[in-house]
Amino acid sequence: MFDILIRNGVVIDGSGAPRRRADVAISGGRVQAVEPGLAKKAGVLIDASNLIVAPGFVDMHSHADRTLPILPTADSLAHQGIATVVIGQCGSSPAPLSERTREIVLAAQRSDDLPLPWERWSSFASYLDTLREVGTSINAVPLVGQSTVRQAVMAFSAAEPTAEQVAEMQEWVRRAMDEGAVGISTGLIYPPGSYASTEEIIALTKPVGERGGYYFSHIRGEADTLLDAVAEAIRIGRETGASVEIAHFKAAGRQNWGKAEQALALIDDARAQGLDISADMYPYLAGSSSLKSMLPEWAQEGGKEATLARLADIEIRRRMSRDMERIGFFRGSEWDKVLIATSPRNRAYEGYTVAELAEAAGKSPHEWVFDALQETELQISMISHYATEENLIRQLRVPWMMIGTDAGGAATHGPLSQGKPHPRNYGTFPRVLGRFVREMGILSLEEAVRKMSGLPAQKLRWRDRGLLRPGYWADIVIFDPDTVSDQATYRDPHQYAVGIHHLLVNGCLVIRDGQHTGARPGQVLAREG
């Protein structure tokens, strides 16, 4: 007698091997058998006729560390078939917090519209314990953020650290690794993490490499400086021994589209020379970030209050404007491609482009951006269009390219149902399977599933997860290859993907017949010893 028996489905096991007809039996959270004609009785029978049975998807780039404590059911992610998220990305993890950074986040929380329960943790271990206590529907693989560590030691200073400060930061990293982080992340366009030199990052990543850990990076530039930024990530990998993952790979801005191929070639060369380096991407032509990330780095030094003070100064605004023209990839001519996503302080902005909003207000786009940042106290986010589908297709075909939502996740109900978040929150994985596999034939279904399960499992060196095999944890998605697709759009994002019929996480049904069951069987997949 099995706990669950999935019958009559077509198994794609995540290794890239061709599909085959087989039943799948599950007991005690693990796959017991994958064979045709399993006749034994089971507590729950799932009829998978005409459906694909595959390993649950792995989201290689997730910001769900900030949503799981608020929305542990991770609805928009589970409805995509995601069983596991890699969190703590872009340099920013919720922990560890020093006493000083605790005060900063707790002060900021008072004006936050979606407060995290920051009071529940300080150390990296206590954040992971919070996830376990809350109980999540999906598994989480934790990274420690380099910017978080830098803030713990240096607050928002742009200064070069002293030798003592470097040693102190290394100690924070070491402790986080020993408490379960699988690696470190950077977000090298976001202050204060971006104030770090390559040497400083190497110093912090050394204890990670020594422990067989990972360096996940939102690299220092995805536009004009893309190639230098990829080269920096390669150097960090070589000098630390850490396995490198480049986040949400893209070449941003029309003038840089030709660089995607060169950047991919740089990574190919590094791989050929033995470096463990790979990348992930999301299948959209637009990205999303906070609106303040358009400001020059110097304008954000010192944190929120200091940034707001600068925005109030006409002379400083002029300097910002000049630098934004010069260095930003959001060229003046492209303000019609920057859409305001979420603006809790003034919802009237949501869903309109900066060009539209500036014109309606009779202001220049820069003026509108500065005013809006002041008005909303920097709590406003954007979606910006900068990619070309030709590159998306090129990247999807790369054998070491994985998939990441770059999203925290949302839901059609509750606190995360507001605003116009990027549709990747709801549609990333189904969009690859629907648009790029079924409609355009860019990849075989077997190859797409491998990029979503077996390949991340290989990267993360899992021995009993990520493939559909006996003895493995039963993270399983069951979907209809003829209907699977994303529904979320930029102007109307809060729509679950369709075609994902069932999702099991650790042998427990999280999605059943397209409905979230409320179950929370997720585990924290922390580094062991």
Binding region for Zn ion (CB under 5 A): 90, 218
Nearer to Zn ion, 206 or 218 (CB): 218
Taking each helix axis from N to C terminus, what angle separates 365-375 and 304-311, rounded to the nearest 10 degrees?
130
If one counts every other C-beta atom within 10 angstroms of the C-beta of residue 441, the result is: 8
Nearer to Zn ion, 219 or 445 (CB): 219
- Decide: 81 and 430 in contact? Cβ < 8 Å: yes
Nearer to Zn ion, 137 or 278 (CB): 278
CB of 18 to Zn ion, least distance (A): 35
Q: Minimal CB distance to Zn ion: which residue?
A: 218
Query: Tokens representing 359?
Result: 């014109």
In Å, how far are 19, 68, 157, 503 from 54, measured between CA atoms? 10, 24, 47, 10
CB of 399 to Zn ion, least distance (A): 23
CB of 217 to Zn ion, least distance (A): 9
Nearer to Zn ion, 81 or 408 (CB): 408
Nearer to Zn ion, 218 or 502 (CB): 218
Nearer to Zn ion, 90 or 311 (CB): 90
CB of 278 to Zn ion, least distance (A): 16
Q: What share of the chain is helix, strand, coil (3-state, %, to 5)?
A: 40, 20, 40
Nearer to Zn ion, 24 or 90 (CB): 90
DSSP 293: G
CB of 5 to Zn ion, least distance (A): 41
Identify which of 54, 77, 83, 52 has the alpha carbon closest to the alpha carbon of residue 499.
52
DSSP string across 400-465: TEEE---B----SSSGGG-S---THHHHHHHHIIIIIIIIT-SS-HHHHHHHHTHHHHHHTT-SSS
Residue with tokens 């936050």: 112
CB of 522 to Zn ion, least distance (A): 23
Query: Tokens representing 506?
Result: 């650790």
CB of 143 to Zn ion, least distance (A): 12
Pairing of strands 508-512, 515-516: antiparallel
CB of 454 to Zn ion, least distance (A): 25
Query: Tokens representing 1?
Result: 């007698």
CB of 186 to Zn ion, least distance (A): 9
Nearer to Zn ion, 90 or 177 (CB): 90
Nearer to Zn ion, 252 or 320 (CB): 252
- Decide: 177 and 144 in contact? Cβ < 8 Å: yes
Torsion angles phi and psi, residue 337, rounded to 5? -110, 5
Question: Omega of the bond prior to 365 within 30 degrees of 0, cis?
Answer: no
Sign of CA dihedral 91, 253, 283, 288: positive
Nearer to Zn ion, 61 or 366 (CB): 61
In Å, how far are 70, 407, 423, 461, 518 from 136, measured between CA atoms? 10, 16, 22, 23, 10
Nearer to Zn ion, 77 or 90 (CB): 90
Angle at 183 between CA 139 and CA 235, to 5 degrees: 140
DSSP string across 135-158: --SSEEEEEEEHHHHHHHHHTT--
CB of 199 to Zn ion, least distance (A): 22
